[in-house]
Structures are given as C-alpha cells and as structure tokens.
Amino acid sequence: MSRTEQDRWRDLRADVVALYRANRRQGYAPWCDAEFDYVCPSADTYPFQWFWDSCFHAIVLSHFDGERAEAELRTLLTNQRADGFIPHVTYWTAAQPPSGPYQVAGSSPWQSASMQPPVLAEAVDAVATRGRGVAYLREVLPAVRRYYDWCDRVRDPDRDGLIAIVEPHESGMDQTPAYDAYLGVSGDDPAAFEAAWRPVAEANALAGHQAERIFAADRFVVEDVAVNVLYAENQRVLARLLGEAGEAGEDEGAALLTERADRTVASLLRRCWDPSDQDFHGLAGRAEERLPGDTVAGLLPILLYDVPSEIVGRIARRLADPNDFGTRFPVPSVSRRSPAYRSAPVGGTVLWRGPSWVGTNWYIARGLRRHGAEALATRIETASLELVRRSGFREHYDAETGHGYGARGFSWSALVLEMAGASP
Ligand code: GLC
C-alpha cells in the first residue's frame, strides 16, 4: 500500500469504527434472560438483529475488535433452537404484535420464523482467524454444525443438495424480480408486493411454520441460486474449520460437510445452470419450474472454486458488458437487459430491483479473484469504495450515478473495509 492508500484506509477504518459504535446495541433481554451485544443494520430503519447482516458485521468487527466480533456471533447464537434453527430477525427490545407486518410473522413475538442466506461459517472463520483461532472454533463449532445440519435436514426435502426458502425475504433479496411471475406481481409498487407476500406469510403461519406442511402446500418454495451458492461456500468453509479444530470425531464431520457441499454445487450446475441462455435460474415449487435469470444471484456462482471456466468466462463478460451488469457503479442487482431493471429504487421499500449493494459486490469481487480475474475484481472494489466515499454507508446505490438510497448508516456497507485491502 502506498502512503496515500494507507491514509485512506485509516480514514475508512475510523469511519467504520464510528459507525459500529453508533449502531451498537447492548443490554439485557428479560424474555430470554440473556445479555445482547450486536450491531444493528441501521439505527433508523433496522434497529434489531438480522441474521446475515450480523454475520457481515462480525466479519467487519474482526478487523478492529475481536471481543465485539465474538459477542456479535454469541448474541446471534443465543436463541438458536434446539433443532439448530436460527431466526432471521431477533427483536431484542420490542416484542412484535401478532398482527404486525408480514415480515415479523413468527411463532414468537421476539423472533421471526424465517431463515436468511446461511453465511454463518464464513463469519466464524473470520472471527477465529483474526482472533482466538482453534480455541474459539472449539467453542462455537457445535452450534454452527447444528445450524447447517438443520438446513440439510429441514430445508432440503427432495435431497438434491439445494435448500429451499419458503418466503421471498428468506433470500435476503426481498423483492428480486426473479420471483415476480411466481408471486403474480410486477412493477415497483410496495403495496403490490405486500399484497403478494401476505398470503404466503399467512399460509406459513397457519402451517405453524412447519417446513413439511409448507412444502406439502407448495405455495412459495424456491431453490434460490444465491442462497445455495452461499450454502455451498459455507459448507466448504465449515468442513475446513471442523478439520482445523481437530477434535476427535470431527474428521467424519468434515468429510460429511464436503460431501454435502459437493452435492449442492453439482445440483447448481446441473439443475440451475441453463446452457441455452447461459444463466443460472432458481427453481420454483415441486415441479421445479425455472425462474427468470438476469439478476445478481446468477453472478454469485463465481464465488465457487469448482465452477467450470466457461461459466466463469461468461460471468466475467456479463460483468464487463455496459449493457448487462457493467454499469458505472456496479454490480447492479438486476441486469440492464431486464425490463424490471431500475438503476435507483422507485417505490421506497422495494429492494433488489437494480441498485448496487456492497454485500454482493464483496462476494463477486472475491469470486473474480479466486478465478484470476484481478482487473475486474479491482474495478468492483474501487467502485464500491467510491460509492461509500461519495454517498456514505447507504443500504444500496444507484448503479449509474452512485447516489445512495435506503437506510442511512447501513452497517454491512462497511464490508468495503475488507475490499480496501484489509484482508490477509
Ligand atoms: C432488507 C434486505 C435484507 C437485509 C435486511 C436488513 O430486508 O433485503 O437482505 O437483511 O434489509 O438489513
């Protein structure tokens, strides 16, 4: 790093430390008799603990405060159910009324009954690597293992290695146009999405949030590409961590997780990749109907080491093409080729329909590096840093102008710290 780069990195780190101080939430929750200490996604819009956000926050914290990084994940694991499930939101300080908005539909007023992209193993990896190493791994891996066993046992009823989500927000990419036709919704009107989501949430609530009953009803069941790429990657990471922790019996665990990851990747390539349009597609319902592509989810497979070079080449070309994903401020969440593409959000809370997000940029840049596409990776990292410099830590950004939208002081956008060369 040159001197100016070092200064810039120090400034960025100071901004991130300040943001994580402001968004820190600490206290005691009588409803579960536990202390909590986590970073909320945004003080105004998202004051509670969200699953994949929290994993990203732990990764960011691991760069400057190992104790808080551990506390973030400890807090996330506090209310893990005995069967391994971890909810997508924990409302630490404010019980949600049963008739609250659809996102909170859950069997408890304090927690949702949904999952989110399973990125826990990566967070544990970062916290262990920059912190207490094997000692930390030995403490947390049993819980982490239980979580991935839950994913496998409960969310993969057809045993193809792909896990299924049962509500749109479980993908973490809430209003992605990939689900439009399946949900019978189109356009940018938040009320239309609310109307399309509500019956799904109500049916799931009526089914007691029991996965088997939800699968039997076959109302909204999606083997989502992004969720499964992250599932595959995290199973691989967990397999490695189990090996590193080196406890008796864990070799078997590592082998099992590797086998499961292989199956997930094989199914992504066999069932979700369509050679005719050269894109990945989510699969809907028992009939596994192919959902539309042209979203950022179809680029995420570049994260996987075992994706064939033709697919890597295709994804790299799409990222470089200004008429596809190569906008001035990449990576748009939807391709410019798609009629659903809007560079900026149109309808307030309607998300993931074009603007760029730091979280997906972080994955794509890492994936490009894994496959030797350094220049393209640098372009995405530089653009991400510029977004934050120009517009601050926002939830998402106009893919063409870089203008920031959505939540302010949005914690996961601090992942730019990783992209600024902070990672080992
Ligand atoms: C939005 C995003 C989701 C995120 C949540 C909290 O719902 O789509 O991915 O976890 O906000 O930041």
CA of 141 to the centre of ligand 1 (A): 26
Hey, which CATH number is domain 3-422, 3.30.70.270, 1.10.3720.10, 1.50.10.10, 3.30.70.260?
A: 1.50.10.10
Best of 23, 42, 46, 193 for a ligand 1 pocket test (most atoms within 8 Å of beta carbon): 46
Interval 338-352 mean pLDDT: 89
Between CA 324 and CA 53 the distance in angstroms is 27
- Ligand 1 atom nearest to CA at 395: 12
Q: Whose CA is nearest to atom 3 of ligand 1?
A: 172
CA of 409 to the centre of ligand 1 (A): 14
- Ligand 1 atom nearest to CA at 51: 10
Residue 391 has what pLDDT? 98
- List pLDDT tens digits, range 212-268: 999 999 999 999 999 999 999 999 999 999 999 987 667 789 999 999 999 999 999
Does position 9 have pLDDT exceeding 70, yes or no? yes
Residue 5 has what pLDDT? 80
The region of weakest confidence among 5-9, 152-156, 291-295, 417-421 is 5-9
> Tokens at residue 281, please?
């597609």
- List pLDDT tens digits, range 18-63: 999 999 999 999 999 999 999 999 999 999 999 999 999 999 999 9
Residue 98 has what pLDDT? 65
Interval 288-297 mean pLDDT: 98
CA of 345 to the centre of ligand 1 (A): 14
Does position 424 have pLDDT exceeding 50, yes or no? no
Query: What string of DSSP letters covers 174-232?
Result: TT-GGGHHHHT--SS-HHHHHHHHHHHHHHHHHTTT-HHHHHHHTSS-EE-HHHHHHHH
CA of 417 to the centre of ligand 1 (A): 20
> Taking the domains of the chain in order of start, what are their residue ranges?
3-422
Place 2 in a pLDDT band, splitting at 50, 70 and 90.
Answer: confident
Between CA 220 and CA 84 the distance in angstroms is 23
Token pair 């078997």 in the structure block, residue: 252
Place 4 in a pLDDT band, splitting at 50, 70 and 90.
Answer: confident
What single DSSP character describes residue 254? H
Q: Which of 223, 203, 197 is nearest to 103 (CA)?
A: 197
Residue 422 has what pLDDT? 39
**Binding site membership of 52 for ligand 1 (Cβ less than 6 Å):** yes
**Binding site membership of 409 for ligand 1 (Cβ less than 6 Å):** no
- Ligand 1 atom nearest to CA at 42: 12
Does position 100 have pLDDT exceeding 80, yes or no? no
Best of 174, 295, 361 for a ligand 1 pocket test (most atoms within 8 Å of beta carbon): 174
> Tokens at residue 317, please?
């070309």
Does position 102 have pLDDT exceeding 70, yes or no? no
The predicted model scores a pTM of 0.97
How many Å separate Cα 209 from the centre of its chain?
22
CA of 359 to the centre of ligand 1 (A): 11
**Binding site membership of 406 for ligand 1 (Cβ less than 6 Å):** no
- Ligand 1 atom nearest to CA at 173: 8
Please report, rounded to a whole number, the percentage of residues in the chain having pLDDT higher than 70: 96
Contact 116, 172 (CB under 8 A): yes
Per DSSP, the three-state class of 50 is strand
CA of 172 to the centre of ligand 1 (A): 6
Please report, rounded to a whole number, the percentage of residues in the chain having pLDDT higher than 90: 88
Average pLDDT, the chain: 94
121: Cβ–Cβ under 8 A, 6 or more apart, which residues? 144, 148, 234, 235, 237, 238, 241
**Binding site membership of 53 for ligand 1 (Cβ less than 6 Å):** yes
- Ligand 1 atom nearest to CA at 53: 10
> Hey, which residues does 273 pair with through a beta bridge?
280
Indicate the burial class of 16 (C-beta count within 10 angstroms; 0-12, 13-18, 19 or more). Answer: buried
